[in-house]
């Protein structure tokens, strides 16, 4: 399966061509601003040849980045007659975590708070995403919960100071192979379908 991967939810834009479990082509632009202009030139050189689907990260994250990535994904998919597969920020971040432990994705919302997506054993989502202040982080249940994402270090520091059962995972950024892995599960019906629209957790900010 050949997948075009598009992401601009966090602090960088990326476009990649993934075939099977291998990256065939990858373009990345660092920076939290200018995603709407940066992403199309990244996508153009990597989407050569046959594509089976376009995979796009739908957030939570940058309002402008998520919206521009979805619009580009829908345009490419419509032109080629292929589906768009949405993947959330948290789904991608926890994709590499041990399925035998709960994992939470904590990402910066650029307003001093955190987007929090919580997943149980096997990557099952535990409710809707939240936006929380560091002081208001909820207590995890169970023996140990891993936290990943660019907001995970400060979340773990706060939670560990309360002697809560948390550990810091390695993943900080969304990776193309993780997006592809989640998309394949969604296409196979292992994950519930999602609408191809931005996943907003709070009123959009023009960032």
Per-residue pLDDT of the chain (207 residues; tens, 9 = 90+): 999 999 999 989 999 999 999 999 999 998 767 677 889 999 999 998 999 999 999 999 998 999 999 999 999 999 999 999 999 999 999 999 998 999 999 999 888 899 999 999 888 899 999 999 999 999 998 889 999 999 999 999 999 999 999 999 999 999 999 999 999 999 999 999 999 999 988 765 544
51 and 119 fall within a common domain: no
At 32 the pLDDT is: 67
143 and 66 fall within a common domain: no
114 and 151 fall within a common domain: yes
101 and 31 fall within a common domain: no
At 206 the pLDDT is: 43
Query: Residue 138 gets which letter from DSSP?
Result: P
| 203 domain-assigned | no
Task: Report the CATH number at residue 72.
Answer: 3.30.420.40
85 and 114 fall within a common domain: no
| 25 domain-assigned | yes
Range of the domain at 106: 90-168
| 193 domain-assigned | no
| 52 domain-assigned | yes
| 196 domain-assigned | no
- Cα 204 to Cα 8, 186, 200, 207: the distances in Å are 15, 26, 7, 9
**Can you tell me the distance from the alpha carbon of 93 to that of 32, in angstroms, rounded to the nearest whole number?**
18
At 174 the pLDDT is: 97
77 and 111 fall within a common domain: no
At 122 the pLDDT is: 82
At 203 the pLDDT is: 67
10 and 81 fall within a common domain: yes
At 207 the pLDDT is: 43
**Can you tell me the distance from the alpha carbon of 158 to that of 118, in angstroms, rounded to the nearest whole number?**
17
| 198 domain-assigned | no
- Cα 152 to Cα 114, 136, 197: the distances in Å are 9, 14, 25
Domain count for the chain, please give it.
2
| 173 domain-assigned | no
The answer to whether residues 123 and 99 touch, using CB atoms and an 8 Å cutoff, is yes
SS3 30: strand
At 124 the pLDDT is: 85
24 and 77 fall within a common domain: yes
10 and 51 fall within a common domain: yes
């Amino acid at each position: 399966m050949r997948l075009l991967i598009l992401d601009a939810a966090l602090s960088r834009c990326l476009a990649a061509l993934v075939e099977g479990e291998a990256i065939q082509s990858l373009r990345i632009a660092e920076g939290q601003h200018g995603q709407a202009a940066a992403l199309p030139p990244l996508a153009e050189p990597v989407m050569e040849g046959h594509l089976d689907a376009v995979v796009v990260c739908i957030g939570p994250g940058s309002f402008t980045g998520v919206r521009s990535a979805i619009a580009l994904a829908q345009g490419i998919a419509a032109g080629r007659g292929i589906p768009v597969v949405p993947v959330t920020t948290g789904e991608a971040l926890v994709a590499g975590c041990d399925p035998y432990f709960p994992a939470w994705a904590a990402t910066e919302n650029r307003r001093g708070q955190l987007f929090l997506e919580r997943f149980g054993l096997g990557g099952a989502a535990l409710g809707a995403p939240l936006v929380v202040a560091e002081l208001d982080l909820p207590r995890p249940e169970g023996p140990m919960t891993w936290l990943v994402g660019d907001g995970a270090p400060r979340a773990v520091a706060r939670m560990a100071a309360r002697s809560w059962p948390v550990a810091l995972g390695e993943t900080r950024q969304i990776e193309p192979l993780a997006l592809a892995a989640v998309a394949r599960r969604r296409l196979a019906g292992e994950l519930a379908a999602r609408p191809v629209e931005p996943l907003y957790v709070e009123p959009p900010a023009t960032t």
